Structure 1
Amino acid sequence: MPNVVTPAEKAETLAWLRRISGDLATATIKRLEDTLPWYADMPPARRSTVGLVAQAGITSFIQWYDDPTSTPWIAADMFAAAPRELLRSVSLQQTLQLIRVTVEVTEERVAGHGEDLREAILLYSREVAFTAADVYARAAEARGLWDARLEALVVDSILTGEADEELPSRIAALGWHGHGEVSVLVGTTPPQFDVDQVRRTARKLGVDVLVGVQGSRLVLVIGRTEPAGRSGDDAAELPFPEIARRLEPGFGAGHLVLGPAVPALVDASQSARAALAGFAVARAWRNAPRPVEADDLLPERALAGDAAAKNTLVERIYRPLSAHSTDLVTTLWSYLDNGRSLEATARELFVHPNTVRYRLKRVSDVIGWDATGPREALILQTALILGAIGTDMTRRRSPATRRTR
């Protein structure tokens, strides 16, 4: 049968606890120094704060013993003395060690003063442990929400190209491990988006990711990690198209567009612009693969008015061919205008079909695109049209031409 404590006995016990509370705090701090190495290694100011938490715990216990119904707020009150910085520097495990030492010292000192007091200490220590877990969980949740907002801000800065001098520090605060090439992947957000699964997959592939969810659009900024962060296989050597293919299950239905690789994260806005422009027009390519590279959508992007795509087509195709040989440009024009027929092209140019075949091979060698494929033929023809328009406009605007008029 449990012992029944009379009001007078309880009042006497409370008075005694209040008298020895200072001694309990001193003994607890001494025990912390003797048994917890991490406490002894702390800077003096932080060690003092931990001591205040221990002392607050003893004071809170006395108040709780006086009125057990105050458990919810009395137990939480002991952490009020701890600044936010302390929660970042002292782990939950260390906090539980602090609670255990405080309870041990208190139990030793009150031994022989009744089972009811000992049971009260055990009940209160349980409440404090639960409260500590709740405090740290809330701190972790707040940190997670802050990181998510910061990550969204960084991704938005990359997409808009409005990077400032604070961008590197924001990226560092997110723990970004990418230190090499970067590419941007744009697709749709799935109904049940699992960001943790995306990050796990990225780590296995030897890359780091920044995740941006913008309504129905999902954006991943993908960066290669340092060699020291690789898992020992050759996953980090995978090309970005293959990395995008392995990340593809994390996206929703619809098109998935990969921007070109850029040297570093500070240049990611270039890849982002290309990926966004490609994503906007991807539906115009009826059989577009998933994922598709933004540079494979150059014709559609150019038709939609993307100046970067127009410039890329002219600089990568028209100008190199024109600089190499006018015969290659003429042959390519004729071949495309004649429905990619070798015989019709040969008749128009008064050459042998083998000559046409040789020149087309030279075109492929110079610019890397093969005119005999239907998709690449569209890319090349768009480049020729844009190059001819640009050349004609340059000719009409030249100072010499204006002076002769």
Structure 2
Amino acid sequence: MAATTRGINKSLLPSAKTRSTIAKRLSGVTGEMTTATVAEMEQRHAWFRRLSAEHRSWVTLVAQAGIDGFVRWFAEPEPSGPVTSEVFGSAPRELARRISLYQTVELVRTTIEVVEDQIDEVMPKADRPILHAAIVQYSREVAFSAAEIYARAAELRGAWDARLEALTVDAVLRGETDETVLSRASTLGWRSTAAAVVVVGPAPDRESAQALEAIRHAAAIAHTDMLGAVQGDRMVVVLGGADLTTPGRAAEVTAGFASVFGAGPVVVGPAVDHLMEAAASAREALSAFRAAPGWPEAPRPVASSDLLPERALSGDGHARRALARDLYDPLRAAGGGLLETLVTFLDQGLSVEAAARLLYVHANTVRYRLRRIHEVTGYSPTDPRDAYALRLALTLGRLLPGSRREEPAEA
């Protein structure tokens, strides 16, 4: 097989002197080629016609630089890989933000096609096969150069977006969600004006950017907005969407990407009305995440409200007050012997018959009151986990100021 130079068979290349002669003839028509290229782009591409005069001049510079670069490369005594960075370096960097990668590909394709047509029209027949073979190689390198420019621009945008997203999530956690933060969130794709939920879990084993993209993909499938960041050994995800207020919906969405987190508990905070209020959800989720080791059998994901006992024991004042306010106080206010029945039932090891004997009531009365306790608090005394929360709520309700009253001794 004949030796090749970056895709061109050397046996097909003429001598350096011949190439130099052909290049001189070619350089005399580069102006015509550029004019023909711009005219063809004007005719073919509506996006080009919509550009301002300044931006069209930038595209013309790129086309001219590409054609001139081809002539210089072809005239080199020792052919090597063409250096195409100067092609796109001739236009301001802003051009990459004005036209897309697809449009750049169209620009390169149109320029090459026009140059090939012009070669057939204005160059001697003997020069045409050589120039056609050379233009194929050169156009490939130009395409690679364009792809590299856009790839680097995408990497820079991605790195900046990641930093902006991390700052936004940090502001949400600290309760500093003002209009500036909302504007940043909107820039990052946050569209929800309704509920928001904060999810906290262990940092992933994989690279953080890949993990966040996997979560973003899962959230998009669930029609949910998402912001996320890795903070030390934990990963924080903020979800947004009107349906997150539906009971169990946030946990359902989180279950779709829970495997992306590292090993350990994944906690879902309560839904709040807006991203501006997400700090409240974050506070509960972070408290529950810290307390989660106290319940290693917890489901994954687990709601922060399901970890109220562990949060209370780990020093979370909000959790202690929630247990007293939402469980103990409603039972005390309901009357009907509910509080006394609960105390007796728990003291008797969750035995209905034993509680009935001590209360001097029928066992069915105890069962009825247990159902009422479930209705009033949302916790079932017959469930061991719920009974644990109710027992702690009784203790906290008796201790916390505002809940200390003599419990009714109703039979």
Q: TM-score range by the shorter chain?
A: 0.7 to 0.9
Secondary structure (helix, strand or coil) at the match of 1:64 reads: helix
> Is the deviation greater in 261-270 or in 190-199?
190-199
Q: Distance in 2 between matches of 1:376 and 1:32?
A: 72
Secondary structure (helix, strand or coil) at the match of 2:380 reads: coil
Corresponding residue of 1:31:
40
Shift of residue 16 of structure 1?
4.5
Task: Confirm whether residue 174 of structure 1 aligns to residue 209 of structure 2.
Answer: no
Shift of residue 218 of structure 1?
2.7
Corresponding residue of 2:152:
138
Aligned counterpart for 2:236 among listed residues 208, 219, 236: 219
> What letter corresponds to residue 78 of structure 1 in structure 2?
V
**How many residues are treated as equivalent by the alignment?**
386
Shift of residue 326 of structure 1?
7.7
Corresponding residue of 2:409:
none
Corresponding residue of 1:274:
284
Aligned counterpart for 1:259 among listed residues 253, 263, 269: 269
Secondary structure (helix, strand or coil) at the match of 2:381 reads: coil
Corresponding residue of 2:215:
198
Aligned counterpart for 1:119 among listed residues 133, 138, 163: 133
CA contact (8 A) 1:92 1:133 kept: yes
Corresponding residue of 1:156:
170
Shift of residue 380 of structure 1?
1.5
> What letter corresponds to residue 185 of structure 1 in structure 2?
V
Alignment root-mean-square deviation, CA: 3.2
CA contact (8 A) 1:71 1:127 kept: no
1:162-210 per-residue CA deviation (whole Å, 9 max, x = no partner) reads 3233211211111234454332222223433653443333333333332
Corresponding residue of 1:229:
none
Secondary structure (helix, strand or coil) at the match of 2:228 reads: strand
Corresponding residue of 2:227:
210
Aligned counterpart for 1:296 among listed residues 276, 300, 306: 306
CA contact (8 A) 2:324 2:403 kept: no
> What letter corresponds to residue 288 of structure 1 in structure 2?
A
> What letter corresponds to residue 211 of structure 1 in structure 2?
G
> What letter corresponds to residue 204 of structure 1 in structure 2?
I
Corresponding residue of 1:339:
349
Task: Confirm whether residue 22 of structure 1 aligns to residue 31 of structure 2.
Answer: yes
Secondary structure (helix, strand or coil) at the match of 1:219 reads: strand
Aligned ranges for residues 17-96 of structure 1 at < 5 Å? 17-67=26-76, 74-96=83-105
> Is the deviation greater in 261-270 or in 300-309?
261-270
Shift of residue 33 of structure 1?
0.5
| Cα distance change on mapping 1:29 and 1:321 into 2, 3 Å | same
1:79-114 per-residue CA deviation (whole Å, 9 max, x = no partner) reads 123444432332222212211222233333344341
Shift of residue 53 of structure 1?
1.5
Identical-pair percentage: 43
Secondary structure (helix, strand or coil) at the match of 1:42 reads: coil
CA contact (8 A) 1:184 1:221 kept: yes
1:266-293 per-residue CA deviation (whole Å, 9 max, x = no partner) reads 3222222212211111121242222221
Gaps of 5+ in 1: 227-235, 396-405
Structure number with the higher helix fraction is 1
| Cα distance change on mapping 1:204 and 1:254 into 2, 3 Å | same
Aligned ranges for residues 88-107 of structure 1 at < 5 Å? 88-107=97-116
| Cα distance change on mapping 1:71 and 1:153 into 2, 3 Å | farther
Shift of residue 298 of structure 1?
0.2
Corresponding residue of 2:5:
none
Aligned ranges for residues 256-405 of structure 1 at < 5 Å? 256-325=266-335, 327-346=337-356, 349=359, 351-391=361-401
Q: Distance in 1 between matches of 2:336 and 2:136?
A: 92
| Cα distance change on mapping 1:356 and 1:72 into 2, 3 Å | same
- Normalising by structure 1, we get a TM-score of 0.83
CA contact (8 A) 1:208 1:225 kept: no
> What letter corresponds to residue 173 of structure 1 in structure 2?
T
CA contact (8 A) 1:176 1:208 kept: yes
| Cα distance change on mapping 1:330 and 1:134 into 2, 3 Å | same
> Is the deviation greater in 251-260 or in 216-225?
216-225
> What letter corresponds to residue 153 of structure 1 in structure 2?
L
Shift of residue 224 of structure 1?
3.0
| Cα distance change on mapping 1:82 and 1:329 into 2, 3 Å | farther
Shift of residue 344 of structure 1?
5.0
Q: Distance in 1 between matches of 2:395 and 2:349?
A: 16
CA contact (8 A) 1:184 1:275 kept: yes
| Cα distance change on mapping 1:171 and 1:137 into 2, 3 Å | same
Task: Confirm whether residue 128 of structure 1 aligns to residue 142 of structure 2.
Answer: yes
